[in-house]
Amino acid sequence: MTKNKITTFLFENKVVVLFVFLCIGGTIASGQSMNFVVSELFTRIARNSFLVLALIIPVLAGLGLNFGIVIGAMAAQIAIFFTTHWGFTGVSGFLLTALLSTPLAVFFGYLVGKLFNNMKGAEMIGGLVLGYFTDGLYQLFFLFILGGVIPIDNPKLMISTGVGVKNTIDLKDTIKYSLDTVPMLTIIEFGFYIAVAVTVISAVVKLAKKQEVNWKRTAVSLVGLVVVYALTFIPAVERFLSSDRLRLLNAVELACFGTLIWQAVKFALCKMRKTDWPRNRAIAACIAAALLYALTYVPAIYNVLVYVQLPVLTYLCIAALCFFNTALMKTRLGQNMRTVGQSRVVANAAGINVDRTRIIAMIFSTVLASWGQLIFLQNVGTFSTYGAHTQVGQFAIASLVVGGASVQKATNKQAIIGVILFHTLFIVAPLAGKELFGNAMIGEYFRVFVSYGVIAMSLAMHAWKKVVKPRLEANAAAGASPAGEAAQ
């Protein structure tokens, strides 16, 4: 039985297992230190995860792998150009850019959703072709309309003729690292004010609707928030939180101790409410946290954990999107999306507006893609005007597929695993090619081949499940039917 489970697991996760071995082999062959590989990996996770997570909603809604995600990236880049031209900087510049890109992305997502509703079953090829078509319009906008139709007087952004935008825009003086360098203390302060405002407004709204307010829970929440905020005034805590980066070692320690505290709180709540406490799950979580903390004392692991530093707000944005994806699927809209993704016929019979649901899913994906592109570009620090968006769809989709996702199913876990494996290979492949063959370009060619290859394999498996497999099953059933009649 165990052997069958292992075989089934390996078959279902064959792509993930293959990439694990490729990453291990590539890391060994590259000859690079783990400090370098892990540091680069966490930089790429922060840079790319939001874009990959933006693909999940359309997959669950039955729209397949969203090659049209590039259109969301274009909306972000249009907004970046104007905020850079106007001279907005820092977090305020980033937020204004996100604010400008959102209505553009909503409009683009609506148009894409309307188009996809007229080509059901061919959304992926439609999204791919649409990306090339919109790229032409994008090039026209940046090469001719800006400066030619819309006057732009900015020598730093425009080419010498005054018509058309330069190939590369430096974001150093505008939004470069604007999200990555927000101090933890600032994050906690804003989080405190937002949480207090939400708690108070929630109570006021319930009173206005003449609903019962749980004053005890409200008071406990406010006291807890005040206590947490008060801790930031302790000098040692304030010094620690004044940094904009969090050491990976501290992140692991916080995760381990946070797990233990959370399990203790759950135990206390279960006792108060007289409900069953999931003992086995809690013990397993505590043991896992203890083992993880024990590993931090291994010298090689300790050195890596101390060396790597994480941009806190960027990772919080990624965590927030994971939470949003999960929470959305628990709402009525999310359940409608899942139903539409599983069967449009059943969704229609259940009274769900299929076309409207698909459009909403596409709008969500396009808006999230625009925000993901903003996170990507502020981390890179330069904006390649005519090329920054070209491979967004390819690399994001390849990352998702590498994590074990398919055309019909994708999860947050698969997205994060895919980003880790795909970008680990991206880091070590050129270095391994240089060490093994004396030519880094071999590694470059290999990783490009892999990115196209995993997408092609995913599409081939989707076609096999949708077309070939049902045909084979139908033929088998037709062949078995006469034999059964003859036996009778």
For the residues of 358-410, what is the DSSP string, one character each? HHHHHHHHHHHHHHHHHHHHHHH-EEETTTTTTTHHHHHHHHHHHTT--SS--
pLDDT digits (tens, 9 = 90+) for 232-265: 999 988 888 898 899 999 999 999 998 988 888 8
Q: Is 149 exposed, middle or buried (0-12, 13-18, 19+ CB in 10 A)?
A: exposed
What is the predicted pLDDT for the residue at 488? 45
Assess whether pLDDT exceeds 70 at residue 82: yes
pLDDT digits (tens, 9 = 90+) for 185-200: 999 999 999 998 988 8
The more confident residue out of 141 and 124 is 141
Q: Tell me the C-alpha distance between 482 and 30, whole Å.
A: 60
Decide: 101 and 93 in contact? Cβ < 8 Å.
no
Least confident of 33-42, 122-131, 299-308, 313-322: 122-131
Query: Helix, strand, or coil here: 62?
Result: coil
Q: Tell me the C-alpha distance between 174 and 164, whole Å.
A: 20
Per-residue confidence band for 463, with pLDDT thresholds at 50, 70 and 90: low
What is the predicted pLDDT for the residue at 136? 92
3-state DSSP percent of the chain in helix, strand and coil, to 5:
75, 5, 20
Own/partner pairs, 388-392, CB within 8 angstroms, 24+ separation: 388/73, 388/77, 389/70, 389/73, 389/74, 389/77, 389/135, 389/138, 390/70, 390/135, 392/51, 392/69, 392/70, 392/73
The more confident residue out of 452 and 259 is 259
What is the predicted pLDDT for the residue at 368? 95
Least confident of 230-234, 263-267, 376-380: 263-267
pLDDT digits (tens, 9 = 90+) for 394-419: 888 888 888 888 888 889 999 999 99
What is the predicted pLDDT for the residue at 436? 78
Q: Tell me the C-alpha distance between 222 and 113, whole Å.
A: 43
What is the predicted pLDDT for the residue at 409? 86
Matching residue, tokens 């907004």:
79
- C-alpha torsion angle, residues 51, 57, 59, 63 (rounded to 10): -110
Report the chain's mean pLDDT, rounded to a whole number.
87
Query: Helix, strand, or coil here: 249?
Result: helix
Per-residue confidence band for 141, with pLDDT thresholds at 50, 70 and 90: very high
Assess whether pLDDT exceeds 70 at residue 469: no
Planar angle of CA 39, 45, 50, nearest 5 degrees: 160
Backbone φ and ψ of 141, nearest 5°: -65, -45
Distances (CA, A) of 83 to 95, 165, 373: 10, 14, 15
Assess whether pLDDT exceeds 80 at residue 485: no
Query: Helix, strand, or coil here: 311?
Result: strand
Assess whether pLDDT exceeds 80 at residue 76: yes
pLDDT digits (tens, 9 = 90+) for 331-361: 999 999 999 988 888 998 888 999 999 999 9
Distance from the Cα of residue 66 to its chain's centroid = 13
Decide: 52 and 419 in contact? Cβ < 8 Å.
yes
Q: Tell me the C-alpha distance between 202 and 215, whole Å.
A: 11
What is the predicted pLDDT for the residue at 103? 96
Task: Give bridge partners of residue 139 from the DSSP assignment.
Answer: none
Per-residue confidence band for 309, with pLDDT thresholds at 50, 70 and 90: very high
User: How large is the average pLDDT for residues 261-277?
Assistant: 80
CATH topology of domain 2-180+311-474: ABC transporter involved in vitamin B12 uptake, BtuC (1.10.3470)
| pLDDT winner (highest mean) among 2-11, 36-45, 389-398 | 36-45
Q: Is the pTM of this model over 0.95?
A: no
What percent of the chain is predicted at pLDDT more than 90? Answer: 47
Helical residues (DSSP H) of 54-162, grouped into ranges: 56-60, 69-86, 90-117, 123-140, 146-148
pLDDT digits (tens, 9 = 90+) for 420-442: 988 998 888 888 888 877 776 77
Assess whether pLDDT exceeds 50 at residue 487: no
Q: Tell me the C-alpha distance between 354 and 356, whole Å.
A: 6
Assess whether pLDDT exceeds 70 at residue 484: no
pLDDT digits (tens, 9 = 90+) for 13-47: 777 888 888 888 888 888 888 999 999 999 999 99
Q: Tell me the C-alpha distance between 257 and 266, whole Å.
A: 14
What is the predicted pLDDT for the residue at 262? 85
Assess whether pLDDT exceeds 60 at residue 182: yes
Assess whether pLDDT exceeds 80 at residue 11: no
For the residues of 9-45, what is the DSSP string, one character each? HHHHTHHHHHHHHHHHHHHHHHT--HHHHHHHHHHHH
Residue 317's CB is within 10 A of a number of other CB atoms, namely 18
Letter for the amino acid at 389?
H
The more confident residue out of 450 and 86 is 86
